[in-house]
Structure 1
Amino acid sequence: MAGNKRIGRRGLLAATAALAAAAVLAPVAAVAAPVTPAAAAATVANPAADPAQAQRSAVVRALESVAQPLRTTEPGGRTADLRALGAMIGDARVVGLGEATHGSHEFFAMKQRLFRYLVEEKGFTTFALETSWSSGLQVEEYVQGGPGDARQVVKDALGGSPWDREEFADLIAWMRSYNRSHPRNPVHFLGDDIGAPRLGDRIFERVASYLREARPDALPQLDGLYAGLRPLDDTMAYLKRPVAERRENAAKARQALDLVTASGAGGDAHAWAVQHARNIADTFDFAALDLADPASVSAAEQLRDRAMADNTAWWERRTGGKVLLSAHNGHTGYLATDTFLYPEPQGSHLRDIYGRDYVAVGFTFDSGSFLTNDGILTDAWKAVTVPPATPEMNEHTLDRVRYRDYYVDLRTAPRAARDWLNVSRPTYEAGSVYLTDPRPQLAIARAYDVLIHLNRVTQARMF
């Protein structure tokens, strides 16, 4: 989610209330500790004496038989190397494209490259991002020709978040330019997340404006329900209020949704007003979590992933356009590294909704740098560099494939590869916060339909 402050979630299960308040922000994961070069060399020096190494060699051969080399992650230029990926996506209505970190240039650049290909070759019309619904509306206004420039829009709508980067300014600038030359078939920007950590007031006003025209007699009741709720500019401060008060406010937001839902007989304006009111209600439901109760935190995260999936599906059905959904691997896939907080990720919900019309694409990388946050700070993003993956990690074997960067359809990979990838192993993964313990583990073949593996990543570009 976007906003002025982003911090991690896993600390919610620890003792400190400050880290617990991080529930509203992006998933984090540990990164495996490095081993010495001597130890790594000893592991592979005599593969004949190491059954695990022999198995890895068989897995590498199996992957090499189906892997498709990736020319580049940078947008623009030739796209012939993406045709096989297009075939893997097929006729899917929604494609979830993950990221192993929230701060790597190559992941962000590849999202624009693939989106442009899908727009031009497969009729996709929407780029959806793991940012708040209200922030997405701000970006959408710019993409459709509204005032401002791309950098300023990113600062205003996504400031302080992992998406407050040059790569996303480049993306929305391209979308705006594309719309100028394709006015009959424009592309759109969607924020599919709930409104924390900053909901603002504009979304409340959109709901009120609808009732002012459609049911002016109901407007006083709506104003009464939203009084004290609008604006929500600082969720971190809001979470310090008593749980009982926050739950009472959540009930008011839900009553407002019911009022708006019952206020019209249908039509486009009514549908949008209901959707805005639903996002407000979901946000206050999420923010009613009990920070001292891990089960409550987990329930809030489950609500969030369900809301993201519902928002994406609502948009796809309302607009009739195909969607590329950008989020952390732990949200776009079917399995997260933290199964307590995320027992059923957004990708799992979307698979329930769409079946084969949803395709989950995950990212892995072997080494490199990315941006992370210290956890409770505002914009304290810093670069972290990790060494090549160690032999017990997923990426160590994946990086032995002869292509520097490549992708593979996990659904049709040879059995030797699928069996190996079905086992949970340590994996490089980081959200907004970088942690070194415990290590995240993931069974890659159970998490994604398609995997893109990169040899090395670099930090995303800050303004």
Structure 2
Amino acid sequence: MITHKALLAALLVPLGATLAVAPGASATTPHAPTAPTAVSASAAFRSPEAALDRVAQPLRTTDPTGGTADLRPFGRMVGDARVVALGEASHSSHEFFTLKHRVLRYLVEEKGFRAFHNSHIALQSYVPATYPRVQGDFLREQLGDGYLSVGLTFDHGSFNAFDHDGAPGQFTVGPAAPGTAEHTLDRVRHRDFVVDLRSAPAPARDWLAAPHTLKNIGATYPGIADVPQVGLAASHARRIGPGA
């Protein structure tokens, strides 16, 4: 018998890339994947993108109508979690919602999830002066490993948001700059992928522990926390294992 489970879809405090699990999705029309960079064996242990490349699981598509076999690695990452939270790096982007559709369908059909709710899913606030704690922090406090925080990120693309006068509009951001979290994630060879950062290899763990600029686009753009400095290990993984 499958016990009652809940899935939280975050709309206000999105994650920008990785956390417990992070699928990297484009927020606009498909673009050519970054060509893999040839690295030596020693460089593979120094480079966070090479370390993440070793454990990233490719996603076949963000289209919600196809099969979900490529989400089985994600299902293993979910494990016995009772609550799975899905974040997003922008609110109104096509691919984020079609990918969420796929993930929600998989969790219902294969993992027995039945309840859904919108909330703030990160484990640590991006703007602590305004929001000292967010709901993901309380959920992890109560549920421990029974709570899984999942973030969605993108390298470049378009999204809908309100401007400062309250008028809706479409905004576009270019490719991520070097040094940002998205720039490193976009160097992983797969166009769209999921990676479990709780068991990331050592070079990736060091990178996750350090703060990096991350897209965090809210309902109004520009907003109060569009590009926060975030240590992803603290914000979404928190407990990272010894690595492969």
Q: TM-score range by the shorter chain?
A: 0.7 to 0.9
Between the aligned partners of 1:114 and 1:407, the Cα distance in structure 2 is 11
The 3-state SS of whatever aligns with 2:157 is strand
Structure 1 equivalent of residue 182 of structure 2: 395
**Does the Cα contact within 8 Å between 1:28 and 1:435 map onto a contact in 2?**
no
The 3-state SS of whatever aligns with 1:359 is strand
Structure 1 equivalent of residue 214 of structure 2: 427
Superposition misfits of 4+ residues, deviation over 6 angstroms: 54-57
Q: Is it true that 1:411 corresponds to 2:214 in the alignment?
A: no
Between the aligned partners of 1:334 and 1:440, the Cα distance in structure 2 is 15
Number of aligned positions between the proteins: 201
Provide Cα deviations, 1:411-431, integer angstroms capped at 9, x if missing partner. Answer: 001011011011111111200
Between the aligned partners of 1:100 and 1:364, the Cα distance in structure 2 is 5
Q: Is it true that 1:352 corresponds to 2:103 in the alignment?
A: no
Larger Rg: 1
Provide Cα deviations, 1:260-283, integer angstroms capped at 9, x if missing partner. Answer: xxxxxxxxxxxxxxxxxxxxxxxx
**Does the Cα contact within 8 Å between 1:334 and 1:348 map onto a contact in 2?**
yes
Provide Cα deviations, 1:298-345, integer angstroms capped at 9, x if missing partner. Answer: xxxxxxxxxxxxxxxxxxxxxxxxxxxxxxxxx211123212122221
Q: Structure 2 residue aligned with 1:69, among 48, 58, 63?
A: 58
Between the aligned partners of 1:436 and 1:359, the Cα distance in structure 2 is 27
Amino acid at match of 1:448: H
The 3-state SS of whatever aligns with 2:114 is strand
Between the aligned partners of 1:434 and 1:97, the Cα distance in structure 2 is 21
Between the aligned partners of 1:76 and 1:28, the Cα distance in structure 2 is 24
**Does the Cα contact within 8 Å between 1:27 and 1:432 map onto a contact in 2?**
no
Distance 1:340 1:436, change over 3 A: closer
Provide Cα deviations, 1:20-73, integer angstroms capped at 9, x if missing partner. Answer: xxxxx95699xxxxxxxxxxxxxxxxxxxxxxxx79971111001100001112
Amino acid at match of 2:161: T
Q: Structure 2 residue aligned with 1:440, among 206, 228, 238?
A: 228
Following superposition, the deviation at residue 407 of structure 1 comes to: 1.0
Q: Structure 2 residue aligned with 1:333, among 122, 125, 128?
A: 122
Following superposition, the deviation at residue 129 of structure 1 comes to: 2.1
Between the aligned partners of 2:151 and 2:93, the Cα distance in structure 1 is 14
Q: Is it true that 1:88 corresponds to 2:77 in the alignment?
A: yes
The 3-state SS of whatever aligns with 1:435 is coil
Distance 1:71 1:112, change over 3 A: same
Percent identity (aligned):
50
**Does the Cα contact within 8 Å between 1:336 and 1:442 map onto a contact in 2?**
no
The 3-state SS of whatever aligns with 2:67 is coil
Distance 1:110 1:334, change over 3 A: same
Amino acid at match of 2:214: T
Provide the alpha-carbon RMSD of the alignment: 2.6
Between the aligned partners of 2:13 and 2:128, the Cα distance in structure 1 is 12
Between the aligned partners of 1:94 and 1:419, the Cα distance in structure 2 is 27
Between the aligned partners of 2:50 and 2:200, the Cα distance in structure 1 is 11
Provide Cα deviations, 1:198-225, integer angstroms capped at 9, x if missing partner. Answer: xxxxxxxxxxxxxxxxxxxxxxxxxxxx
Between the aligned partners of 1:401 and 1:334, the Cα distance in structure 2 is 25
Between the aligned partners of 1:77 and 1:87, the Cα distance in structure 2 is 20
Between the aligned partners of 1:56 and 1:447, the Cα distance in structure 2 is 24
Structure 1 equivalent of residue 241 of structure 2: none
Q: Which runs of 5+ in 2 are unaligned?
A: 1-10, 16-42, 239-244
TM-score when scaled to structure 2? Answer: 0.76
TM-score when scaled to structure 1? Answer: 0.41
Matches within 5 A, 1:42-53: none
Provide Cα deviations, 1:119-153, integer angstroms capped at 9, x if missing partner. Answer: 100100112124xxxxxxxxxxxxxxxxxxxxxxx
Q: Structure 2 residue aligned with 1:110, among 80, 95, 99?
A: 99
The 3-state SS of whatever aligns with 2:158 is strand
Structure 1 equivalent of residue 150 of structure 2: 361
**Does the Cα contact within 8 Å between 2:155 and 2:182 map onto a contact in 1?**
yes
Between the aligned partners of 1:59 and 1:348, the Cα distance in structure 2 is 26
> Which has the larger helix fraction?
1
